[in-house]
Chain A
Amino acid sequence: MKKGAATSSDFFVRSEKVASTVKSLSRAASEQESFNQDDDYTSEKSTPQSSHKPLKKAAFTRTAQKELQKRLKETNTNASEEDSDIEHVTRKIPSKTSFVERSASRQERNRPPTSTSGRSSHSERSQRSYSTENDTDDFPEADKREDYENNNENGDDNESETESSTIRQGSPTRKKTSADILAEESSQLLLGQGLADGNIWNVLVFGPPKQRPKEDWEKWSQLTFHPSTKSVNSQDKLVDDVEARVIEDEGLYIGEPLQLPLRNLNRLENRLLKEQSYEWFGPDGKLIGFSDPYRAEPVKLVPNESRQMEFEKNVIFVPARLDPFQELQIDPRQSYEMVLELGTIQFTHHPLFSKEHILSAKLEEAFAEYAARNLMRLTERATNKLKALREAVSHTKQAYSNVISQLKDAADVAERKTLKETTENLKDRIKNYRKEMQRTCLDRDQGYWDDRAALVSVLELWRELKTLRREQGYLNTTPKLSIMEIPVDPKEDKVAWKRAIEEEFNDLKEEYDETYETEIRIYNEEMKKFLADRRKQKKSRTFSTSLEGKTTTQESKSDSDEEDTLRDESSTKKPKPPPKFDPETTIKAIEKRHAELRRQPGEPILMLELLKSSSITATNQLPTGSNKEEQRRKMVQKLKVEIKIWFNEKEVYTSKPRSIQPDFSGFLGLSIPISIKEWPESLEIQVIDPTMKLNVERIEVQLPDSKTSIDRCNTQRSQFSSDDIVRVSNSGVGCGIPFEILGKDYSAQCPRGFITSRIGWSTDTDGNILCPVGLEKLLHSAVTNESDRKLKQFMKGKSDFDPNDPKNAQWLNMKPGKPDEKHHLLEAGLMSPQKATPLRITENEFAEEGFNFDERMKEFDFCTMESIQQSSRFRLLHLRDEEVPEFRGLKMIPAFERDIPTDIFNQYERRLKEDMRKRSGTDPSLLKPSRKKMLDDESLYESNRLEKIREMRLSVLHLFENSTKQITFEDLVVEEQIPDIGTLGLNLMALFQPRRPLRPTRKERKRVQGSNLIDTKISLIVSIVRAFNLPMRKDTEVGLLTTESLTGVQVSSKRMERGVGNYATVKPFVEVWFQRSVCRTTTALGSNPTWNQELQLNLAVPNDDYSQANLSRMDDLVYFHVYDEVAIDLLEDDRRRETDIHQRLEKRWLGTISIPFSTLYTNGRIEGTFKLNSPPILLGYEAQGMASHFGPAIVGKNSQQNPSSAFTGKGPGAGTPFSNQKNAFITIFLTMQPSVTPSSGLKEDSQSGETADMVAHVKTWKNSHEMKFPDRIVRPFVMTSEGDTLLCTRFLKPIEPPNTLLTTDNDLMRAMEDLAHYVSLFPCVRDSTLGIVDFSLWFTSDTFISAPGGGIEDHSVLLACYFMHLNVPCWIVQGNAIPDGPTTFVVSSFKGLGEDKPISKQLKNAVLIWNACTGDYYHSNDNFCPLQRVWAAIGKLNVWAYTGEGERPHQVDWDVGKAKCWLPLFVKPVPESKIPCIQLATTRYKPSDQVQANSLAQRIERNLKEVFMKWRTTTKTNWNRYCSATLRRLLPKLEESKLGRSKSSDLGTTAESTVTLHSGSGSTISLNEEHLIELREIMASYQMTGFPLQQPYTNMECIIETVFATGVHTIDAPDVEFAVAAYAHAYPASVYSVWVYVAALHRRK
């Protein structure tokens, strides 16, 4: 709007006007809203007539809006059509009016929306008052409002306005507010516009704020309720005056109540009480709630065996299944149909049963039993069997006697034997028969009894029924029992009776006779034994008493007494003689039994028949007074049943109601076809009684098997029942209520009955059964499901079953195993809870069944492990998931096995095999040194040396997999850091600092996290500033050299001369190699060149994966090679020199530094001056001395003034501490674009090996230090190979170095140098390539040595331990170094040493800083010491954090005892026993094996030659064998010079005499010159450039890489020849120092 005003000024007024219109309109709208709200209230509260009004009003406003829009548009279009701002206004209007509309439609809400968007011109205060008015005004003024409403209905808004104002006149604060004025204005405006038509518009006015009278507040307070926080009396919480029960005392289990703040709980209770909702309170007067779900202590979810079991028990297993239709792959278009036919229904109990019904039902039941018995004729069968048995016995007896007689006659032994056997057989048989007879006898008697009982019960029930019928005077049921008597001849009967008794008696007697013999024999034997025992006991007792008299120990006496008595008891059981057969008593007993059980002789046989012949008394014939019966009959007539069919738990069919006969039976005659689209799991029938509203349980119907068609199946009767309790007012007995008939109490009956049905598959016209295939296969699972469901239902049904009670846990844990058994068990167990036995049985059976959970777990397996192994695809997926390096990040694994190449696992398997061999093969090879095998093993082993160390360290990391994957907030969320005061202050300071545009400083860039760089390319930015002290080019004159060597004149003097003449300036340039991509600087001039050049290299990330893990895993090196560019003149014709230039540029390697990418990655940037790694000998070049101001003054003096001092004297050239003058340096800056930060890896607070006290102490110490110096990273804890975090002091302990390295003479300094060199030969693995950033992983030295190799720290530890063995005070210093970043160095000092030690005076006060990885050492004052910042020193038994100001080594006061600069961890010395060392007492070294080293050297040479030729792709490579041989000879000397410099003098006899001569006589002869002398013959005919390279042996690849880096192979002059020689020196513990001599030879013209 304003913009519009600015563009056209004459428009301004108009638009303003429109704006004001809009404003007022909107205000009006909002007021309307308020009115609408008032409307709501009244409409809801007052009259129903007015409820339609709001709608009307909404309609009003809508029409009004349209009108308004139209008019406004008119005005606008009149004014201008171009102006968009006006357009904007008009567009805005609908939105505001629509607001009105919406608010109008929001009729239901009582409260007005607090949004006051429409009332823009109001002050906040008036708004507030207004809204409060709206809120509360309505209560007291409801009546008035109604009046107003009536007025308002007339639709006159002006009136309404006045009305409202009159209403408000009563209020005391009435004033003409600005709102009123505005409203008036707007209304005038509207009138002026012609919009004030009251029929269209509802113009509303703001009322003034209103004070509330006191009574309003009172009413208000009546409507509100503030629940108090006081506790409620528990008695109040109960509805009646019931005593609060203490449920826990009643033995029911209640868990721990949930802990809530009491205040809130009370408030809740008070609120509930106010609402009178007592149902929230339990009988104990407490809130009903779940027990506390929280555990008291935090739980770490560890796969604990027992807990897992617990967990597994609580899992209810539902086997996963596909839809069987799909599983079976049936044609879904075909229809499957099942038919259920329902025949009849019969209630055996129903609430409308009269008493007579009950009885007759019972009668029928009893009769059914009787009939069944009669049909089965159990008794008769038993008697017949008995008869048969009897005969059999007599037969066998005969046979027996026959045999016996034969036995007597038989003389032959064999015959006798067989006969005897037969007698035995027969005897056995008789015995068996007898047993059988006894059993049958019992059966028969039982049968008699049951028969009688059945008969009697039927008769009794019939009698009862008769009396009942008589009493009530009418008949309700049809059953009629007809009793037929079959008369019998009493005489015959008697005879039979007697015979029976006789027979039985005979049986018994015979039996007795048979058994008597054996019994008497047994008795006699026992008697004998018993007597013998007796005698023995008597003896022993006397004996023992006499013994005890001697020992007189009371206890033993009593003991033995007890024993005696025990023995007595056991043996004094006097055997009883077998009872005599008493015929009289036996007969009596038999007679008695018969009399009890059997039909008496003469008693007629009763035949019963139940007929349904008696007619039911018609209703009109009912005797008077039986109204209830009439009612009942009426009810029965109305009685109907419906049948519902449930298929798979879904209701599929409901029948029409069928009427039921008065005898409660009904014919259904339904045939229900069920067409199946789903797998049939269950089919249930439910009987519904709509009149009585019985809740009848569903009946399961057994699903038919696939072969059962409906025509062929039989009808089944299925029982149904219900638990309902129904009381009936008529003569029916109801359900679930006990009742009595004829004074006899009957227990409650539940409605039940049976229904006849049959089910089968229907057939199509061809007679095919319409059943899905494979039904049988799945039927079983359906059954298990079924039982599950039943179990669940059962659980649900049991209301008094307390699931919280721990006692019931086993029931809940029950899982469906064998379904039927389980179900029975459950019922048996729970139905009779008073019995203890069933419970125990079930427990046992559960245990036996064993819950074989593994079996169950199989269901969850995707497939078996074997099939994973067999299937290459699964295996591939599996390996990828396990992040096996060969398969990590593999993409698009094919879906079919056949698409996977067969050789994909070859590499992996080969590696596995190697690993296996390494693990198993190393030890036997050590024991049995078969040379050949050992070599093979070694070569394999060596090739993977680095890998092995890495693997070892990774395996430790695996212990911490959880913590490595710990993700912090910072990893996920980018957040602005809070600026602290310090940075703010610095920023402010920066403002006031003088500007120095000519000295730009590097600003820290914001670092990006690795995972952010999905698409961005990372590039390496290298800025090469300058180099200094590069060697000078020296054109070696052969003649000069030869003379020199021959004359033996002091070379030093000659050198000075030569310095003038033969030296030429180098033309150096720098090449940066990274991942085999190269970038170079321009060529500079001179030994101290300045490039100031920035280079950029792309970073190629494996797999294009810029993730953190991947970046940190990269172990590529960034090489900086300094070359000399040599122009070789090729111009043949000197005459053309003036015009033509024909040169070949050759680069000659001067030196290298390599910086691991991982270092750069972890540090972000690397900046500094680095020592160039130049070879000790550079043929064709000579290092020049550095200007004195570069080196520390004191050192310079040392080397110059005392050239023959102990530490410089014997070892001239490279390697001495103060030989920096010889070294070249290069200043570089290295960073990445964009700057990528690694995430802080893991936290070190995993499990600790230290005591809690120690951890706490160290942590407080560390924290207090970090408070002061947040930049200094002090890590007193390190991680060990076992995964413990330990105090790092535990690693320090004197360790004896290998014997061969210990020199006999007392040169301490040299011994240290040797050891440093030795330690530096161990391969080094950077932790950061393993993703370890934030903590250090230290291995004990024995692991380090046996590996061999490890991290930087491991090197330091070993070196420090060696120094300790030499009694040199030393510490491991944690600090920041270039280029490594945070790392460790070893610092040694000679201060504490006694005078007896052979140390030079210069070293007395010197502090040496050793880099254990390279073997270099520096004076603490050395400016080029890579250690830049010192943070902490770790000594034996203590750690000191550096608290001094300057962090540079030369600024540090190296006396750790000074409290000013060093903060000790333990102020008081701690005894060693408290923090014992974890290093092994003795370390065993594998003896050095030079033979192996030689073979290694051969291999290296061979490999190098191969790759060299490969690199030189374009030209032929000529090898100068003679030169190679010479070089090979030279190499061992280099190693000697590096190691034991004194040894060279002892070597005199073996090595070349010339060299020995020179080195022995003139200490100042440099190695370089030695080599020159040696090579002079070659030099005579060739111009030669070359150099030896030294490095520890890690693997072949590393060596090749270094050689490649020198770029010698790039020389492609046509006549160039090469020479390569390699030498490996073996050291103990399979450590090798590898020397490679590379040279290029040009034939001299």
Chain B
Amino acid sequence: MMESARDIEGNNTTFDSMMSNSGLGGDRKSRHTKDKQAIISSASSSSVPTSFLLSVIGRIESAQIFGVDDVYCKYNLAFGNDWTITSGMEEGISQITMKDDDGNFVWNFPLEVTFKSCNPHGWPQLVISVYGSDFLGNHVARGYGSVYLPTCHGSYVKTIPLFVPESSSFLQKISAWLMGRQPEFVDPKLLAQSEGRQVVRVQSNGYVVVKFEVVMKDIKKLGFLTSSKTITENYE
């Protein structure tokens, strides 16, 4: 009994600000950090975990995009406030690939990231943006797409439909074509949110196939159920 009480106390004291005072120091700086004090709980030694882990291994396998010869892709992970990446890269850019006979672009770009979280709100999303060169050699956006990381453990193959933003007007379209600057999203992470999408018109454009292997830890212990079909699985 005493021990557990100490544990809890220990947790309380381990709160720390996320911001590291990077060099600039001083009062003024600390004012900012104080405002935006972030809470993080260190991994406690107690038996009950304070956060769950979501580990996603996978690869961006291939894409099918029409009328394009070479593409590369960039991935971003968008996630909410209560999520942190404990290992793995938040962003990555693949090699440029040419299409094969069937019109597939294969990257096999590995993806490995582990999240730590305590709240399913803001579940991470994978945002994929595909770029390629046009006939003039300019790199233009060929497609954007996003998908939520699976919420259940297991192996998944996701086909992400892609789209590209359209020019705002016909004149702009011609201009974009002439200048070789197709419209692009300001931030691909915008795809992870629904806000403001009503102002954009997009054109559908191919698919990206992504494979995920999802491993989770402790999510059940935090009281979250991620699947309805886990009756037997949970007890084995």
Contacts and interface: CB of A to CB of B under 8 A. Distances in A.
A95 B22 CA distance: 58
Given A885-B35, A893-B82, A1012-B187, A1076 B101 contact: no
B190 interface: yes
Interface stretch (A322-330, A487-495, A1440-1448, A1527-1535): A322-330
B36 to A, nearest CB: 4
B175 interface: yes
B172 A1075 contact: no
A414 interface: no
Interface string B159-198: 0000001011001100110010101111100100001110
Interface in B178-236: 179, 181, 183-187, 190, 195-197, 199-200, 222, 225, 228, 230-232, 235
Given A901-B15, A965-B195, A969-B200, A975 B118 contact: no
Contact of A975 (B15, B44, B172, B225): B172
A1077 B22 CA distance: 12
B165 A894 contact: no
B89 interface: no
Given A1075-B28, A1102-B35, A969 B168 contact: yes
B187 A891 contact: no
Interface residues on B, range: 35 or more
Contacts of B97: none
Nearest to B169: A978
A974 B181 CA distance: 9
Given A896-B50, A899-B41, A901-B12, A1104 B82 contact: no
A891 B18 contact: yes
A976 B181 contact: yes
Interface residues on A, range: 35 or more
Interface string B72-93: 0000000001111000000000
Nearest to A965: B195
Contacts of A1098: 24
B94 interface: no
A978 B33 CA distance: 43
Contacts of B196: 965, 967, 971-972
A1100 B29 contact: yes
B5 to A, nearest CB: 10
B151 interface: no
B232 A332 contact: yes
B32 interface: yes
A876 to B, nearest CB: 8
A1075 B235 contact: no
Contact of B38 (A891, A978, A1076): A891
Contacts of A877: 119, 121
B222 A1011 contact: no
B101 A95 contact: yes
Given A890-B38, A1102-B32, A975 B167 contact: yes
Contacts of A894: 39, 41, 50-51, 118
Contact of A1103 (B11, B36, B181): B36
B137 interface: no
A1076 B28 CA distance: 7
A968 interface: yes
Given A892-B39, A898-B8, A1011-B187, A972 B231 contact: no
B215 to A, nearest CB: 19
A1596 to B, nearest CB: 13
A1100 B8 contact: no
Contacts of A899: 11-12, 41, 44, 50
Contacts of B67: none
Q: Which of A323, A880, A898, A1104 has the most CB of B within 10 A?
A: A898
B28 A893 contact: no
A1636 B121 CA distance: 52
Contacts of A1075: 24, 26, 28-29
B37 interface: yes
Contacts of A134: none
B225 A976 contact: no
Contacts of B44: 899
A885 B34 CA distance: 11
A1011 B167 CA distance: 20
A516 to B, nearest CB: 79
Contacts of B172: 975-976, 978
A326 to B, nearest CB: 7
B40 interface: yes
A322 B36 CA distance: 37
B1 interface: no
Contacts of A185: none
Contacts of A893: 39, 81-82, 118-119
Contacts of B181: 975-976
B27 interface: yes
B157 interface: no
Contacts of B231: 323, 325-326, 332, 677
A1622 B215 CA distance: 65
Contact of A972 (B12, B179, B199): B199
Given A877-B119, A1011-B187, A1076-B28, A890 B81 contact: yes
Contacts of B37: 890
B18 A974 contact: no
Contact of A974 (B12, B36, B184): B184
Q: Which of A888, A891, A1077, A1098 has the most CB of B within 10 A?
A: A891
A333 interface: yes
A895 to B, nearest CB: 4
A1116 interface: yes
B12 A888 contact: no
A1077 B186 contact: no
Contacts of B2: none
Contact of A1011 (B39, B48, B121, B186): B186
A375 interface: no
A322 B235 contact: no
A1076 B118 contact: no
A332 B28 contact: no
A880 B183 contact: no
Interface string A957-978: 0000000010111011111101
Contact of B118 (A98, A892, A1104): A892
B36 A888 contact: yes
A731 interface: no
Contacts of A1009: 186
A1102 B36 contact: yes
Contacts of A578: none
A135 interface: no
Contact of B235 (A95, A333, A888, A969): A333
Q: Which of A902, A967, A973 has the most CB of B within 10 A?
A: A973
Interface string A1090-1131: 000000001010111100000000001000000000000000
A1582 B121 CA distance: 67
Nearest to B235: A332
Contacts of B228: 323, 326
A836 interface: no
A872 to B, nearest CB: 11
B176 A975 contact: yes
A492 to B, nearest CB: 77
B32 to A, nearest CB: 4
Contacts of A1014: 187
Nearest to A323: B228
A885 to B, nearest CB: 7
A1174 to B, nearest CB: 24
Closest 10 CB pairs of A and B: A967-B196, A1102-B32, A895-B118, A1076-B26, A1103-B36, A891-B38, A976-B181, A1076-B28, A975-B183, A332-B231
9 contacts: A326-B228, A326-B231, A891-B39, A892-B117, A893-B81, A965-B196, A972-B186, A1009-B186, A1077-B26
Interface of A: 95, 98, 322-323, 325-326, 331-333, 677, 877, 880, 885-886, 888-896, 898-902, 904, 965, 967-969, 971-976, 978-979, 1009, 1011-1012, 1014, 1075-1077, 1098, 1100, 1102-1105, 1116
